[in-house]
Amino acid sequence: MLVALLLPLQAGAAQAGLMRPVLQLLRPQVEARLASLCVGWLGGADGALAASLEKPCRQLAAPVSRCLVEETDASGNSLAVVSDLLSGRLGETSELVVKRCAARLLGLPPDSLRDVPLQEIAHQFKPPSQPQPPGQQAR
């Protein structure tokens, strides 16, 4: 009876690692996308600032992409996350992986951001809006 209870656990653990090679193959693309988003988000329309941010953003993207691969693999839902990556969307499982990575990189317990909306987390790290020069109005 104990064996019958443990077999599904062993199968789940084996399945969790099956997608890791695929995740590792996708990691350079995720890393490049993260670096690009970082430069665009922090550099804005300032070309000189954006250029100066390219190296730091690439350096930041590397551990973040590794974290995403590790957390995705650990989630046991790698197929759902890979499907989200390939379709360019962020599903429920992918969002949970992102939250776990954010917590991990901030030194928080893994599930501490589980109930916080992702937009709220992003808003906390968004740079403050820059005032517009006189004579220009928002449209």
pLDDT single digits (tens) 9-63: 344 444 557 788 888 888 898 899 889 888 888 888 888 999 999 999 999 899 9
Instruction: Return the closest-CA partner of residue 93 out of 77, 69, 113, 71.
Output: 77
Count the neighbouring beta carbons within 10 Å of the beta carbon of residue 47.
Answer: 9
Domain assignment of residue 136, yes or no: no
Q: What share of the chain is helix, strand, coil (3-state, %, to 5)?
A: 75, 0, 25
Q: Is the distance from CB of 46 to CB of 53 less than 8 angstroms?
A: no
pLDDT on residue 132: 52
Distance CA 57, CA 50 (A): 10
**How many domains is the chain built from?**
1
> Per the confidence metrics, is the pTM higher than 0.75?
no
Domain-located, residue 102? yes
Do the domain assignments include residue 38? yes
Residue 134 inside a domain? The answer is: no
